[in-house]
Amino acid sequence: MRLMNRVALLTASGSGIGRAISKRFAREGAKVVVNDINVEGGQKTVDLIKEEGGEGLFFEADVSDATKMEEMVHFTLANFGRLDILLNNAAYLDFQGARPLTEVSIEIWDRAIAVGLRSYFLGYKFAIPAMLKNGGGVIINISSVGGMEGAHWYSHYNCVKAAIINLTKNVALDYSRQNIRTVCICPGTIETEAIAKFFTSEHPFKKMRQNMIPIGRIGRPEEVANLALFLASDEAAFINGAAIPIDGGIMSGKFVYNFKEIISSIGNK
Ligand SMILES: NC(=O)c1ccc[n+]([C@@H]2O[C@H](COP(=O)([O-])OP(=O)(O)OC[C@H]3O[C@@H](n4cnc5c(N)ncnc54)[C@H](O)[C@@H]3O)[C@@H](O)[C@H]2O)c1
């Protein structure tokens, strides 16, 4: 077991990627604190962990709330005695809020930053001192391939995801010598509730997105969990400050100039 005797705190883990990582960490021996704003979802993650013989507790909190974030770290220490791994995973995920920049409401902009970026700062702020008490730790941030490039109508999300990548690099520089390692995972499209509730399996976007992905399919939360496990483990001891895409190859190119199609249409003279 790769995380035996480690304690992990995972934000926004009552669903999707956070749930898959919580289960994977627990299966590898970690004691986990599952957080979510949604009590039912968070409790369900804990139940699933316990069904597999793992150890987990739920802490309800809106991660944009500084007091709650500090309490959550204290809760982890009070119940499990230490903190080794933090997963910052929350984001403002309302696709209905997508608009050209000037039409994005101030409320949505502020909420996207509060949930998706302020919470990551708060996670670092309260987790690092706790980790230093037991000699260090690992902080994994969930960004997105959306943080590595632009997208139409999605500035409120993509700016937050880009900021997370740079925040990760800054913290890596500031705290590496104190044995704090921090890395960023940048998923492409992953089959989670966030995607499923908006795009049904018959939705044309889904087909189109699948076709854009070189591997030819959408990713699975368990695949992101496999990467998170590796990054949290000692096997990744030399990986620090990195932003790692897990995207079926979509960041390799968008086929804007598809020479295969151009050459086939004009003939290879
Ligand atoms: N699914 C994808 O295709 C994809 C791609 C790139 C990045 N991501 C990122 O992965 C992360 C997880 O997304 P997901 O797809 O698993 O979504 P999801 O909807 O399945 O899970 C998100 C969870 O966050 C919780 N949450 C929302 N606001 C919260 C708050 N203020 N405080 C605490 N919990 C809160 C929700 O209740 C939910 O349980 C997000 O950061 C998202 O941006 C997802």
Query: Which residue's CA is the nearest one to ligand 1's atom 30?
Result: 62
Query: Which residue's CA is the nearest one to ligand 1's atom 19?
Result: 194
Tokens of 51: 């069904």
| Res 96: pLDDT | 77
Among 68, 116, 125, residue whose Cα is nearest residue 92: 116
* Domain boundary assignment for the chain: 7-266
pLDDT tens for each residue of 179-213: 999 999 999 999 998 888 777 777 777 888 888 89
What spacing in Å lies between the alpha carbon of 192 and ligand 1's midpoint?
Answer: 9
| Res 130: pLDDT | 98
Tokens of 189: 């499209």
Sheet holding 137-142, edge to edge: 55-60, 31-36, 7-10, 85-88, 137-142, 180-187, 243-246
| Res 91: pLDDT | 98
| Res 257: pLDDT | 65
Which position among 120, 124, 157, 175 bears the catalytic label? Answer: 157
Answer whether 0.85 is exceeded by the pTM: yes
Active-site residue flag, 157:
yes
Q: Which residues contact 199 (CB under 8 A, 6 or more apart)?
A: 205, 206
Architecture of domain 7-266: 3-Layer(aba) Sandwich (3.40)
| Res 211: pLDDT | 87
Q: Which residues contact 155 (CB under 8 A, 6 or more apart)?
A: 101, 104
Counting from 1 in the atom list of ligand 1, the atom nearest the Cα of 41 is 39
∠ at Cα 145 (148, 180), nearest 5°?
80
| Res 265: pLDDT | 81
Count of Cβ atoms closer than 10 Å to residue 42 Cβ? 28
What spacing in Å lies between the alpha carbon of 194 and ligand 1's midpoint?
Answer: 7
Residues of the chain with pLDDT under 50: none
| Res 245: pLDDT | 98
Q: Which residues line ligand 1 (CB under 6 A)?
A: 12, 14-18, 36-38, 41, 62-64, 89-91, 93, 115, 142, 144, 187, 189-190, 192-195
